[in-house]
Amino acid sequence: MEFEELYQEVILDHAGHPRNFGEMPDADAHVHGDNPMCGDEITVHLKRDGERIAALTFTGAGCSICMASASLMTQKAKARTESEARALSRNFQNLLTAEELPPGGMHLGDLQALAGVRKFPLRVKCATLAWHALEKALDGAGAEQSFHVRPDTAAE
Ligand code: ZN
């Protein structure tokens, strides 16, 4: 199997069967993000245990890229410390936006499946939506937050 096909399978698998999908009534933070350019709309629910992310789920709906990225995000960031999760988010966003990737890749595992999105700046917004929501949940400014992806940052 070609790498590209393998990656495509990871995306279809997560988009079709999102992991950690569901409400979390006792969450410490609910962050709703929407990406009007595509119609993606998700909410990330996060519960902390000190520095650690004790529980992490998401709800909502979006395109395959958005759903797969949110599903992978919850899998990868859950049980991590805040600083580990922030570093992961930074690395993932670099994977999608950096002009040049480091030789040997980014060591992001299944998240590499989304690397192909880097050729499509508008789809990058779909892939990063859940991660922006995660970061805002970690910022912890209020239990309920909402944000919109703005078109003027589409080509960053
Ligand atoms: Zn989308």
Quote the pTM value: 0.90
Distance 39 CA to ligand 1 centre (A): 6
User: How confident is the model over 90-134, as pLDDT tens digits?
Assistant: 999 999 998 877 776 677 889 999 988 988 888 999 999 999 999
pLDDT score recorded for residue 105: 66
Which residues are placed with Cβ below 5 angstroms of ligand 1, an ion? 38, 40, 63, 66, 126
For residues 119-144, one letter each, b for 16 or more C-beta atoms within 10 angstroms of the residue's C-beta and e for the rest, the string is: eeeebbbbbbbbbbbbbbbbeeeeee
Question: Is a pLDDT exceeding 90 seen at residue 156?
Answer: no
Report the separation in Å between the CA atom of 126 and the middle of ligand 1, taken as the mean of its atom positions: 4
- pLDDT per residue over 30-74, tens digit each? 999 999 999 999 999 999 999 999 999 999 999 999 999 999 999
Q: How many residues belong to the chain?
A: 156
H/E element holding 60? strand 52-61
